[in-house]
């Protein structure tokens, strides 16, 4: 990746220092540098970084102050805040895991969406630390960059066909088997809910289904909500609510990114990736509130609100995904504003039908600084999605517990024997943070990668 180099000649020393170690460390460097640093008082001022000049007016070192141990976000802001011509190297050896986290944070912070800029910008570069696993770091970073690119791309240039094309590209690169169902063929192949949501668009709905890996390996199925643009349908959104709806395929982008990580790292899994890709548009044939559709599973659903379309396309995909009996089923979706109200934009909601799986996901996500927070599949609210005319209603009968009732709706389409996790995520950074530039974001995928890696390893050892 262009954010890393191998040659350390001319590279500037990058010193990562805990604030309480500053005074003793200053005694080990040249006096004129120590005076410069003391004059800026980084230990007490809260300053996070300081460029330190040498005696000739050049750059001697870059000092990064931390309040905790070095990790993923320690270097995340440096690539865009240092001069683009600068190359840095870690001043001291660190263990392999820390080096990998620092390098990944640098890569994530180097991301920039420049597709539509006449003059794209460059960023500072890092000499890749030799003790870290470069293939792993770059595979994860490339996948996150891909997911961010997909979310950031305007809907004009990323419709259902283009989103399905991204899965086709993965399948071609890794020799996966691909099936794509388009338009009215969705009715022929019994995916009526996907068709119902996408039929009003001039860009036909699609369901793309990729399978990769050894058929005897641990079976992982990923499903991603791929609403390329969400107008709200006939229950049309206000302009403010529609403004960011190019990101409503963020669940699909996250599933694609995670699939890319799995395949690039050649994990011993049987991977299946399913993306229902649609526009939720308005036309004479748009689906309507109180319409009733029979789903792939055979359950009938009454449409409560056409702006709750994500669960409608997911129910068919989850029914098919569940029918093959995977060892692990995960769906990602920008599903509810209620999850954002409960947990904010930076913390995805996790719903899970298996306590052990939920614990693994939560702990792995926390460990790699890609957090989620579990919310309950509270059966006491199931009556809120009951209908007088159909088996289920797509939305709750009250304004309360919207994220839970959405998850309970999806749960109806998953076989009870299948370990299943549902991730309700924002897929967007509202402002720049270290390693997390403003714009599209891949959330929870790195934590799920670690969960899948651990589980497939146990499966392989037990076989």
237 assigned to active site: yes
- Placement of tokens 């004059």 in the chain: 39
Does an H or E element contain 212, and which?
strand 206-212
Per-residue DSSP letter, 436: B
Whole-angstrom distance, CA of residue 307 vs CA of residue 335: 10
End-to-end Cα separation, the chain, in angstroms? 37
- Residue 209 forms beta bridges with which residues? 179, 274
Does an H or E element contain 196, and which?
helix 192-198
Handedness of CA 328, 333, 336, 342 (dihedral sign): positive
Whole-angstrom distance, CA of residue 155 vs CA of residue 228: 6
| Catalytic hit among 48, 134, 142, 237 | 237
Ranges of beta strands (E only) in 213-268 are 218-224, 226-230
Q: What are phi and psi of 77, to 5 degrees?
A: -95, -10
In contact, 97 and 20? CB cutoff 8 Å: no
Both structure tokens of 350: 């996790």
Does an H or E element contain 439, and which?
strand 439-440
- Placement of tokens 């990323």 in the chain: 158
In sequence order, what are the residues at sequence separation of 6 or more whose Cβ sits closer than 8 angstroms to the Cβ of residue 398?
A: 384
| Catalytic hit among 311, 393, 436, 446 | 311
Both structure tokens of 359: 């614990």
What are the residue ranges of helices labelled H in 199-249? 239-242
311 assigned to active site: yes
Distance of CA 393 to the CA centre of its chain: 29
Q: What are phi and psi of 42, to 5 degrees?
A: -65, -20
Q: Is 311 helix (H, G, I), strand (E, B) or coil?
A: helix
Does an H or E element contain 428, and which?
strand 428-429
Both structure tokens of 211: 């399978």
Per-residue DSSP letter, 434: T
How many CB atoms neighbour CB 413 within 10 A?
25
How many CB atoms neighbour CB 127 within 10 A?
19
Whole-angstrom distance, CA of residue 377 vs CA of residue 432: 33
Residues with catalytic function: 237, 311
């Amino acid at each position: 990746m262009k954010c890393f180099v191998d040659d350390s000649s001319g590279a500037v020393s990058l010193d990562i220092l805990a604030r309480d170690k500053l005074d003793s460390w200053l005694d080990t460097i040249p006096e004129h540098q120590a005076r410069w640093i003391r004059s800026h008082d980084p230990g007490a001022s809260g300053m996070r970084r300081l460029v330190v000049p040498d005696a000739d007016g050049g750059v001697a070192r870059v000092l990064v102050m931390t309040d905790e141990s070095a990790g993923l976000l320690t270097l995340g802001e440096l690539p865009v805040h240092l001069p683009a011509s600068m190359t840095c190297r870690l001043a001291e050896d660190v263990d392999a895991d820390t080096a990998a986290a620092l390098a990944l944070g640098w890569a994530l912070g180097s991301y920039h969406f420049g597709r539509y800029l006449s003059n794209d910008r460059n960023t500072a570069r890092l000499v890749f630390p030799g003790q870290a696993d470069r293939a792993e770091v770059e595979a994860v970073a490339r996948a996150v960059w891909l997911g961010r690119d997909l979310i950031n791309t305007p809907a004009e240039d990323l419709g259902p066909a283009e989103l399905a094309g991204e899965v086709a590209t993965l399948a071609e690169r890794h020799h996966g088997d691909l099936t794509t169902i388009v338009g009215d063929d969705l009715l022929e192949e019994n995916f009526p809910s996907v068709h119902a949501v996408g039929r009003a668009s001039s860009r036909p709905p699609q369901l793309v289904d990729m399978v990769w890996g050894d058929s005897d390996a641990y079976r992982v199925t990923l499903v991603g909500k791929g609403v390329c643009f969400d107008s709200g349908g006939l229950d049309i959104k206000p302009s403010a609510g529609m403004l960011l709806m190019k990101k409503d395929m963020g669940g699909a982008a996250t599933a694609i990114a995670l699939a890319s990580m799995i395949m690039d790292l050649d994990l011993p899994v049987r991977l299946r990736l399913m993306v229902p890709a649609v526009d939720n548009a308005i036309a004479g044939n748009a689906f309507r509130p109180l319409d009733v559709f029979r789903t792939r599973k055979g359950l009938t659903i009454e449409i409560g609100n056409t702006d709750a379309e994500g669960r409608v396309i997911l129910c068919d995909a989850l029914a098919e995904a569940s029918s093959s009996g995977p060892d692990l089923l995960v769906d990602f979706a920008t599903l509810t504003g209620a999850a954002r109200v409960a947990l904010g934009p930076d913390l995805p909601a996790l719903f899970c039908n298996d306590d052990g799986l939920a614990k693994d996901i939560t702990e792995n996500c926390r460990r790699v600084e890609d957090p989620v927070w579990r919310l309950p599949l509270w059966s006491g609210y199931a009556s809120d999605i009951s209908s007088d005319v159909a088996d289920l209603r797509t939305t709750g009968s009250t304004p309360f517990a919207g994220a839970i009732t959405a998850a309970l709706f999806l749960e109806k389409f998953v076989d009870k024997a299948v370990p299943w996790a549902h991730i309700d995520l924002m897929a967007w950074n509202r402002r720049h943070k270290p390693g997390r530039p403003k714009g599209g974001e891949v959330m929870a995928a790195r934590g799920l990668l670690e969960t899948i890696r651990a589980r497939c390893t146990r499966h392989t050892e037990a076989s």
